[in-house]
Structure 1
Amino acid sequence: MRCTLTALTLLATTAAQAETTQRTVTYPVHGRTGIALYRSIGENGPKIGGRRTIAHTGFDLTWTRDYRVQPDGACRLAVARPHLVVTTTVPKAPADLPPALAASWSRFAEGIRTHERVHARAIAAMVARIEAFSTGLTAPADPDCTRVRQKLQAFLAKTIARHRAESRAFDKADIAEEGGTMRQTILDLVNGP
């Protein structure tokens, strides 16, 4: 009974949210030391903006929208249903690492997953903001729904720019700056076994 109630609660909770698919993709790294594994990440990691990264969480977002012209000539966006695919790319080390290196890699990999979950949550929050703004968006005297679309596009541009800026700021604080959690996780790997 408890499992059934939990499943029903989850379905009810997600029904009003984006239709979301989460995928994890791995790329191989090789090495018998922490620094060798990290160098392999530098050679094989996902390329973002022309540079290799340790991991990346990206998204593909499409929408089902229903624009309705009202009897008074206004346009109303009656339905704005997001379809979101979040893809996280992470490194995968060989299964036969020496025990001390395997433990170090395990901590590193968990640090990556924790970091990337923050990005995934930020993407979901961005989509929720867009959905909340979109649903019911109205413009008077807009029989072709041109103004509603323009309002929506302006909001999308602003919201996506904000998301990217926040994502860069998080990466800088967590990876590049002294005291960042992921920065320390990287140092522990490269200075370890």
Structure 2
Amino acid sequence: MRLLTLSALALIGALCGSATAASADVKVLVKTRTYDISGTTGEALIASMNRNGPRHGFMARAIAQTSYTKDWDFDFVQVKGTCRIKQANGTLNLNFTYPRVVSTLPPVLDKRWARFFAGVRTHEGTHGDIATQMMKATEKSLMGLTIQNDAQCSKTRREARRRIDAIFDEYEAKQNAFDAREHREGGHVEYLVDALAKS
């Protein structure tokens, strides 16, 4: 079981519930947590997120964050020394962390915050979608995996683990590429922060 924390909407400079879905034999369990922020200006809200947001690395804070763990259980069939995966049951535990405004916002700032927060949720949702796609691709790769001369299924287990790791690496690259696009100078994250901070 590996815990992955994705770099999600890191603050730029100084300004800067639970649900379940099922797909075939992959379960996606979602938990959402919040942390409190306050302020009556966009700059104050950003500063509050910078103080209270989830850790991103050793020193930095993030606006929001997506993390997940993945687990796989297998049903094996053994026939005359051949081992086959009959069923691959995956569980993806997705955890989202978002800011929650606890102060009363002026009407104009309230509208800016709503647009900002919608963008944050879309960003984190994309991370969750990529993780879900990873699980589906892994399930497809594992189903029907068959290895001969493997009466104890040890070779099949090793090959299953190798495939899980390879697909994880492929989709982790997709997660990183998405963040690189979003966090580039002049990118979507900078746009969201600047739009919230404007006076």
TM range (shorter): 0.7 to 0.9
Residue-pair matches, total: 178
The residue that corresponds to 1:187 in the other structure is 194
| Richer in helix (by share) | 1
Query: In angstroms, what is the RMSD of aligned CA positions?
Result: 1.8
Structure 1 residue matching 2:134: 3-state secondary structure = helix
The superposition leaves residues 127-182 of structure 1 with CA deviations (integer Å, 9 ceiling, x where unpaired) of 0011111111111101111111111111122221222221121112112332x223
CA deviation map 1:55-88 (0-9, x unaligned): 1112222233112222x20111111111222111
Percent identity of equivalent pairs: 31
Alignment CA distance shift 1:182-1:62 (3 Å): same
Instruction: Give 1:17 deviation, angstroms.
Output: 4.7
Structure 1: runs of 5 or more not aligned: 1-12
Q: Structure 1 42/15 Cα, relative in aligned 2: closer, same or farther at 3 Å?
A: closer
| Alignment partner, residue 76 of structure 2 | 67
Q: Give secondary structure in 2 for the equivalent of 1:78.
A: strand
More strand by share: 2
**Cα distance in 1 between the residues matched to 2:151 and 2:160:** 16
| Residue aligning to 2:17 | none
Structure 1 residues 129 and 15: alpha-carbon distance in aligned structure 2, compared to 1, 3 A threshold: closer
| TM-score scaled by length of structure 2 | 0.82
Question: Partner of 2:40 in structure 1?
Answer: 32
Q: 1:53 aligns with which of 62, 71, 77?
A: 62
**AA matched with 1:97:** L
2:39 match: secondary structure: coil
* Residue type of the alignment partner of 1:185: L
Q: Deviations over 1:74-131 (max 9, x none)?
A: 1111111112221111111125111111111111100001111111110110000111
Q: Equivalent residue for 1:5?
A: none
Asked whether the equivalents of residues 25 and 88 of structure 2 are also in contact (C-alpha less than 8 Å), the reply is: no
Secondary structure in 1 matching 2:117: helix
Structure 2: segments with no counterpart, 5+ residues: 1-20
Q: For the residues of structure 1 that align with 2:23 and 2:133, how far apart are their CA atoms?
A: 16
Matches within 5 A, 1:75-94: 75-94=83-102
Runs of at least 4 residues off by over 4 Å: none
The correspondence for 2:164, drawn from 151, 156, 159, is 156
Paired amino acid for 2:45:
L
